[in-house]
């Protein structure tokens, strides 16, 4: 969908056209999922939260200035929901020792190798990288997932997040440095 189509789809959404909103959802559902995954770290939660964000966006679509790009506006809704989720999870962890133990055991971003010759060493590396990713701060995880693991260009990331390319580079620098540090701490040699 080109920007002109997006603008007209948004205008139709403002008149309550849900089918037009479907076009917007189809275009942005995967970036929304990756951003949410970067924040909350769990695939199921990321799917739920990204869907909630689209529902909220549709409800408030009349407030959106359709001369601007949709995703940066949507991103602020999504980020708020993610932060609420993280805060709720933190409170829950404080309240429940059982859940804290359970989450410690399974906390890693699922990572896989494309066209793998899947050996035990590679599998172990995937697990370690997934665990290291999970230990990054949400903003670091977000940019690493988008650029490093999903191959979005700097321009695409800048457009998605509504930030300049310089910011993309500096965030990526500190995120990669943090990832490197985590991997070294886990004894990964490369």
Which of 1, 5, 11, 22 lies at the binding interface for other proteins (CB under 8 A)?
22
* Cα gap 25→151, rounded to integer Å: 21
User: Considering the rule CB under 8 A, would residue 33 count as an interface residue with other proteins?
Assistant: yes
Which x/- pattern over 102-131 shows residues binding other proteins (rule: CB under 8 A)? Answer: -------xxxxxxxx--------xx--x--
124's tokens: 């172990």
Q: Which helix (H) or strand (E) holds 124?
A: helix 120-135
User: For residues 158 and 69, is the Cβ–Cβ distance under 8 A?
Assistant: no
Phi, psi of 107 (to 5 degrees): -90, 90
Pick between residue 67 and residue 104 the one whose CB is nearest to other proteins: 104
11 near other proteins, judged by CB under 8 A: no
Binding window for other proteins (CB under 8 A); candidates: 6-14, 18-26, 67-75, 76-84: 18-26
Dist. CA 76–CA 63, nearest whole Å: 13
Q: CB-wise, 32 or 79, nearer to other proteins?
A: 32
- Kindly provide the b/e burial profile for residues 158-171, where b requires at least 16 CB atoms within 10 angstroms of the residue's own CB: bbbbebeeeebeeb
Binding flag, residue 9, other proteins (CB under 8 A): no
CA trace torsion 172, 176, 178, 180 (10° rounding)? 180
Member of 51, 66, 131, 134 binding other proteins (CB under 8 A): 51
Q: Write out the residues near other proteins by the rule CB under 8 A.
A: 18, 22, 25-26, 29-30, 33-34, 37, 43, 47, 51, 54-55, 58, 88, 91-92, 95-96, 98-99, 109-116, 125-126, 129, 145, 147-150, 153-154, 165-166, 169-170, 172-173, 176, 179-180, 183, 188, 190
């Amino acid at each position: 969908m080109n920007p002109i189509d997006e603008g007209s789809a948004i205008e139709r959404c403002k008149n309550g056209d849900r089918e037009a909103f479907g076009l917007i959802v189809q275009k942005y559902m995967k970036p929304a999922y990756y951003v949410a995954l970067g924040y909350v770290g769990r695939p199921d939660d990321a799917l739920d939260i990204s869907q909630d964000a689209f529902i909220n966006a549709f409800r408030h679509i009349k407030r959106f200035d359709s001369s601007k790009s949709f995703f940066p506006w949507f991103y602020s809704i999504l980020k708020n929901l993610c932060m609420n989720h993280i805060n709720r999870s933190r409170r829950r962890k404080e309240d429940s020792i059982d859940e804290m133990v359970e989450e410690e055991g399974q906390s890693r971003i699922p990572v896989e190798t494309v066209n793998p010759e899947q050996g035990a060493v590679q599998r172990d590396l995937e697990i370690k990288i997934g665990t290291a990713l999970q230990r990054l701060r949400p903003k670091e995880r977000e940019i690493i997932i988008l650029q490093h693991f999903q191959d979005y260009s700097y321009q695409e990331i800048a457009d998605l997040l509504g930030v300049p390319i310089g910011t993309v580079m500096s965030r990526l620098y500190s995120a990669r440095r943090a990832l490197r540090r985590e991997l070294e701490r886990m004894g990964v040699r490369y």
